[in-house]
Structure 1
Amino acid sequence: MGIIKISDDVHDDVRRASQVMSRSINAQAEFWIKIGRLAERNPTMSFSEIIQMELDKADLEEQAMTEVPKQALA
């Protein structure tokens, strides 16, 4: 874990957004960093498409986690 220096203006933006989204300031900053990184890696995708891609990925991971115990019982 490290410390990231950001401007006061950006910190204020993160703080306001964190209140609206019911996230901690750190969680909001991490969300923006993650989405920004994904946007740079997928420049043709919209924000909505990036969010859908992440939801689909989470669904697959959840399915894989629930299938492992079923296979162990067989």
Structure 2
Amino acid sequence: MGIVNIDDELHDQMRKASVVSCRSINAQAAFWIKIGMLCEMNPTVSFNEIVARELRAAGVVPQSVKAA
């Protein structure tokens, strides 16, 4: 484990996103880093497809939201 220096604005955005996502700030940073790396390594795959693939790999079955 190490220390990563980020600017104050990014840290503020990460803090806000962590509240919405119910994650710690560190968990939010790890999520953004992992997803960003996967997006860079798979430029033809959408963000939603990457997240769905990661959910399936974790044993979660994503379901579509039905219109009301």
Give the TM bin, normalised by the shorter chain. Answer: 0.7 to 0.9
Q: How much is the aligned-residue C-alpha RMSD, in angstroms? A: 0.6
- Segments of structure 1 that go 5 or more residues without pairing to the other structure are 60-74
Displacement over 2 Å in runs of 4+ = none
Which residue is equivalent to 1:50? 50
- Provide the residue aligned with 1:17 in structure 2: 17
Q: Is the helix fraction higher in 1 or 2?
A: 1
Give the equivalent residue in structure 2 for 1:34: 34
Shift of 1:36: 0.1
Q: Deviations over 1:13-72 (max 9, x none)?
A: 00000011111000000000000000001001111100111112112xxxxxxxxxxxxx
TM-score when normalising by structure 1: 0.77
Alignment length, in residue pairs?
59
In 2, Cα distance between equivalents of 1:16 and 1:22: 10
* In structure 2, C-alpha distance between the alignment counterparts of 1:19 and 1:38, rounded to whole Å: 23
Q: CA deviation at 1:12?
A: 0.3
Whole-angstrom distance in 2 between the partners of 1:26 and 1:54 = 19
Structure 2 gap ranges (5+) = 60-68
TM-score when scaled to structure 2?
Answer: 0.83
Partner Cα separation in structure 2 for residue 53 and residue 23 of structure 1: 20
